[in-house]
Amino acid sequence: MDRRFPLIKSTPSLPMNSSRMKKYNKDNLIENSPLRLGAANSIKGSRNFSVSPNPAHYQNGPKLPPIINPYEAPAFIPIIHDPLSKLQASRRTISNQISSQEPNNVVIKYYLKFKTGSMMGIPKEQNQDSYIIQSPLFSNKAKHFFAICDGHGTEGHTVSRLIKATITPILEKKLLRFVGIDALKFAIDETCQNVLHGRFDCSFSGSTFVGVLIIGDTLLCANIGDSKAVIGSIINNSCTAVELTKDHKPNRKDEADRIILHGGRIASHDQGGPLRIWFKDQNIPGLAMTRSVGDKASRLIGLISDPEIVERKLISTDKFIVIASDGLWEFVTPRDAVEIVHNSMILGKSEGACERLMREAVIRWNANSASVDDITIIIIFLNAM
């Protein structure tokens, strides 16, 4: 998404429920592989797939994929799947049924849906969103990794694709040396450095990142930018949104203070529009966020890539997680999102929750704007004890 010229003010986020959370912040194709790594890049329109797992495939240990050179890779990197997985192109949702009998495994299934944005009803040439689905993570059925990257700027798709192609193998190595939160933090830091030193110009291009790492019944959520992750907590048939992320935008005082301290200024591009960050004496870059991956020039005025990481012990009332790019959250609040998913569950149609969320997001975009942003949604259903 190119956030330099958005047409609509972002919807304010709901307050985070922090009662059971710990926040960490630095400032205080490939066959024969169990790896699943998806890319929404360069695909016009809406796409979904259905993938069935092959549990027997993991009996002899994981078979890791070859290294992908992100600079020589084609514009679209297909999903990497089991040799016996059947790609059902006629389906419109990625789903993966995971054995609930595995010790400490809390992930039952997941669904994915994405849609390329449009302008005046004409699809854009490039979808700048990317997604990562590693479930299970390197054949360990108690570990899962899901992430969404929302690119912006002329090379936004390149940034999000590079994150997608490199962060998972880095995370695998870090998990061998570090525990949970440190492994995720170090993997993100290394990935951000790879982007800044990549063989492309990211001076005015970048990407958000929101990632969820589940290890047993422990959830770690890392966020950079304004993509979101939300838990749907159900008690007595009533669903509550528990936000795992806080947007990194200039309307946050702590974020704004850092930009001003580094000599930047904060102002709207037009009256009533969202606040943006600018050089003191120039009308660039005009970003509507204060943290991102890439955006090298904006680092001169205080933009950073440090993730905020939340740790949460999953409990029996935590029934699902919604991870999505800003294309969903622009007009759909976290509360609305979890209610839509919950209603799908009540109707026994949880597999259609992504479709319902997507449809609602597009309806609201069309009612408020001449454009529709790229939208990527992952829903993970849980069975924590």
Segments making up each domain of the chain, as ranges? 21-246+290-382
Q: pLDDT at position 186, please?
A: 98
Bridge-partner residues for 310, per DSSP? 23, 221
Cα–Cα distance measured from residue 126 to residue 68, given in angstroms and rounded to the nearest whole number: 21
- The pLDDT tens digits of the residues spanning 258-306 come to 999 999 999 998 777 899 999 999 999 999 999 999 999 999 999 999 9
Q: What is the pLDDT of residue 269?
A: 84
Grouping H, G, I as helix, E, B as strand and the rest as coil, residue 346 is helix
pLDDT of residue 247: 98
Question: What would the pLDDT profile of 11-58 be if each residue is shown by its tens digit?
Answer: 344 344 443 444 444 444 333 333 334 444 433 444 454 333 333 333
pTM, two decimals, is 0.76
Chain centroid offset of residue 94 CA: 16
At the topology level of CATH, where does 21-246+290-382 sit?
Phosphatase 2c; domain 1 (3.60.40)
Banded pLDDT at 138 (limits 50, 70, 90): confident
Mean pLDDT of the chain: 81
Condensed to tens digits (0 to 9), the pLDDT of residues 232-250 reads: 999 999 999 999 999 999 9
Is the four-CA dihedral 187, 189, 192, 194 of positive or negative sign? negative
User: Is the pLDDT assigned to residue 115 strictly greater than 80?
Assistant: yes
Torsion of CA 61, 66, 68, 69, to 10 degrees: 140
Comparing 99-113, 135-149, 165-179, 221-235, the range with the smallest average pLDDT is: 99-113
Tell me the pLDDT band of 1, cut-offs 50, 70 and 90.
low
The set of residues, in sequence order, having a beta carbon less than 8 Å from that of 242 and lying 6+ positions away, is 16, 17, 230, 231, 232, 233, 318
pLDDT tens readout for residues 369-383: 999 999 999 999 999
Question: Residue 171 in contact with residue 119, Cβ under 8 Å?
Answer: no
pLDDT number for residue 318: 98
